[in-house]
Amino acid sequence: MSLLSTLMPAAERIEQWPLAAAIAESRYAFPIIEGIHLIGLSVSVGLIFLTDLRLMGLLFRHVPVNDVLRHLRPYVLTGFALVFISGGLLGLAEASALLQSPAFPFKMLFLLLAGINALYFELRIAKRAPVIENHPVLPRSVKYAGAASLGLWTLVIVFGRLIPYLPNWG
């Protein structure tokens, strides 16, 4: 694993940054930031799950898709702000452990795919007339985008939780 040995010194330097070291050494900082990460996730990814179930026609069928998207967006984005800030801090504090964990790059990969799916949905599918005009029957692509989002975000959570469980590379 030559890539690993190339990146390792950088990860170790990051861990020595005062902020990173302070988090790693504090008895309470790490678990509290982990807690904020979980709460941010339940607001952002959690509300996305509910949106996905609506797109798939499984829940909240009496609420127009367009209303679900519009009403929940500010809370989803606020949740993501919490997730990214807390996740970034945790990442600084244990940079070398993340680098060694095979689960972490998979988490990032599925995060990227989930983001691309969300962008495509917001910029293309959600802009189609039947969605904007709240037609009772929506294009199939709406349902597929919801299912893809549900699956990809689930994988992000699964691989995130696996980080401390999978054996290291090499």
Q: Which residues bind other proteins (CB under 8 A)?
A: 27, 30-32, 34-35, 38-39, 41-43, 45-47, 49-50, 59-60, 62-63, 67-68, 71-72, 75, 154, 157-158, 161-162, 165
Element (H, E) at 25: helix 18-25
Considering beta carbons, is residue 8 or 111 the nearer one to other proteins? 111
Work out how close the CB of 115 gets to other proteins at its nearest, in angstroms, rounded to a whole number: 18
Q: How far apart are CA 118 and CA 110, in angstroms?
A: 12
Within 13 A of 9's CA, how many CA atoms are on the CB side? Answer: 3
Work out how close the CB of 161 gets to other proteins at its nearest, in angstroms, rounded to a whole number: 5
* 8 Å CB contact between 65 and 59: no
C-alpha triplet 144, 133, 51: angle, nearest 5°: 40
Work out how close the CB of 129 gets to other proteins at its nearest, in angstroms, rounded to a whole number: 21
C-alpha distances (whole Å) from 147 to each of 2, 49, 68 are 38, 9, 16
Work out how close the CB of 50 gets to other proteins at its nearest, in angstroms, rounded to a whole number: 6
Considering beta carbons, is residue 80 or 141 the nearer one to other proteins? 80
Q: How far apart are CA 79 and CA 37, in angstroms?
A: 9
Considering beta carbons, is residue 9 or 88 the nearer one to other proteins? 88
Considering beta carbons, is residue 33 or 95 the nearer one to other proteins? 33
